Amino acid sequence: MKKYDRECEVVVVGSGMGGMTCALALARKGKKVEIIEQGSKFGGYLSYFKRDNFLFEAYLHVFGDCEKGGLMYDLLGELGLRDKIKFSRIDYTLFTPKGPVIFPRNSDEIIKALSPLFPGEDQGLKNLLNTMKTIYNDFLKLPSPSPVLERYKDKTCKELLDEFLKNEELKNLLMGAWLYILMPPSKTSAIMISVLMMIYLLSQGGFFPQGGSKAVVEAFSKELEKDQTRMTLKTKVTKIIVENGRAVGVETEKGERIRADFVVSNAAARQTFLDLVGEKELAIDFVTDLKQKELSLSSFVVFLGVEMDLEKLNLTHQIFVNTSTKTFDEAYENVLKGEIGDYITITIPTIGDPGLAPGKNKHSLTIWTIAPYHLEGKDWKVEREKIADKIIRKAEEVIPDLSKHILVKNIATPLTLEKFTLNTEGATVGWIQTRETVFGRPQQKSPIENLYLTGHWTMPGEGHMLTAKSGIDAAKLILSR
């Protein structure tokens, strides 16, 4: 067998937010780290691309908890990046059948704004938001026991809402961003919706990095280079080398073998264990559970470079187009049947950061919605343009004549997302986020000794903040050895 080409203390497979965070946390403590990425850029879902000088976010919509006391603020502080990445506050607009609503920026503002509109719901609203805050705080303290988490672990988001509120319009307003979790409130875990709502809406509101994800990835990359981390692009890891039940390194598609004391995988869970490790190294029950876990839905994304004056429309950075007369559940069932686009989100980062587009009245704009990996009896290659046209027409409900001002158009289907990120079936948030699976993600410490996991396939869950936390948590476990 070929000897090893080089050695390091930790090799990180994949450079999504979890992988980058783990690598930097370890490098800061003097560990010799190599991070290997199969793509042409670092970042995973935090990546970006350019078309005709329009900069597009591959998947970034918004950050949260970026001010003092927030999760992201603390994580960046631990990594020494707090002064390297600048964030600006952003606003959300929710377009409903009754008209637009600019969503308040935190719990106190929500109570102040919504209580007068829904008489008799003020105390219930306060109690709901306080409960969600407790769920969030206790979730971040896991595995410490929590009576609140125990109480709500088997409840759906709908059951949580029904416990405190009566007015259905108010419930729908609060859950207007349901696409973020890819499932309607009737199916989503009460715990996960509380966590994500607190991060992105209820705690400090939304933020966006100045310069977009490009600035975030560059900040991480510069610091990793300073700490002499080896950063390898366009290289796919094909094997995690296991000897006597212990991960000892990786092998790449180029035939290189890198020996390491620890291996960290930011890759998809099934890819990590079934492809890179191999079933023969794993317990039968573990493999069976891994194969049976249900994946989240994927996404359909249209990237547009447009030339039009969006400022006069008073649009915000993040827009939820919830004008459909279909209920959340009806829209979700339509998606499962391949009928996509009843509900969409629009992200316009150039509203607050015009430098992401090449001139006055030019904007980079992303239209996004949830989508299945498989289209029943149809082919994505055939349907992609039709679906893109449909959701552009949907976007024109809030941006009139949008289709007449398009300079650049790119389309990403679930197949595109799988190709570029290697996420199984282009799953947007890893595993489905039901009450049955909220605590079912693998932990950072895997069944294979010296193999650790980061990313949205692991605890604590989806989104850039939680995946960053997974990287910090994995690094701490390695440093404690």
- Taking 90 as the threshold, does the pLDDT of residue 59 lie above it? no
Write down the pLDDT at residue 208.
96
Looking at the domain covering 6-86+211-294+429-479, what would its CATH class be?
alpha beta
pLDDT-based confidence at residue 132 (cuts at 50, 70, 90): very high
Q: Where in the chain is the domain with CATH 3.50.50.60?
A: 6-86+211-294+429-479
Q: 274-298: per-residue pLDDT in tens?
A: 999 999 999 999 999 999 999 999 9
Q: 84-110: per-residue pLDDT in tens?
A: 999 999 999 999 999 999 988 889 999
Token output for 233: 């692009």
- Taking 80 as the threshold, does the pLDDT of residue 2 lie above it? no
- Taking 70 as the threshold, does the pLDDT of residue 434 lie above it? yes
The domain 106-203 is placed in CATH, from the list 2.60.40, 1.10.405, 2.40.50, 3.40.50, at 1.10.405
pTM of the model: 0.96
What's 405's DSSP letter? G
Mean pLDDT of 112-138: 96
- Taking 70 as the threshold, does the pLDDT of residue 462 lie above it? yes
Q: 181-223: per-residue pLDDT in tens?
A: 999 999 999 999 999 999 998 999 999 999 999 999 999 999 9
> For residue 1, what are the CA distances in angstroms to 4, 257, 451?
9, 11, 22
CB atoms within 10 A of CB 254: 11
Write down the pLDDT at residue 457.
97
Q: 65-80: per-residue pLDDT in tens?
A: 999 999 999 999 999 9
> At a CB cut-off of 8 Å and minimum separation 6, what does 178 contact?
184, 185, 188, 328, 343
What is the side-by-side order of every strand in the sheet holding 63-64?
A: 63-64, 206-209, 87-90
Q: 370-398: per-residue pLDDT in tens?
A: 999 999 889 999 999 999 999 999 999 99
Average pLDDT, the chain: 96
Mean pLDDT of 451-457: 97
- Taking 70 as the threshold, does the pLDDT of residue 1 lie above it? no
> At a CB cut-off of 8 Å and minimum separation 6, what does 117 contact?
170
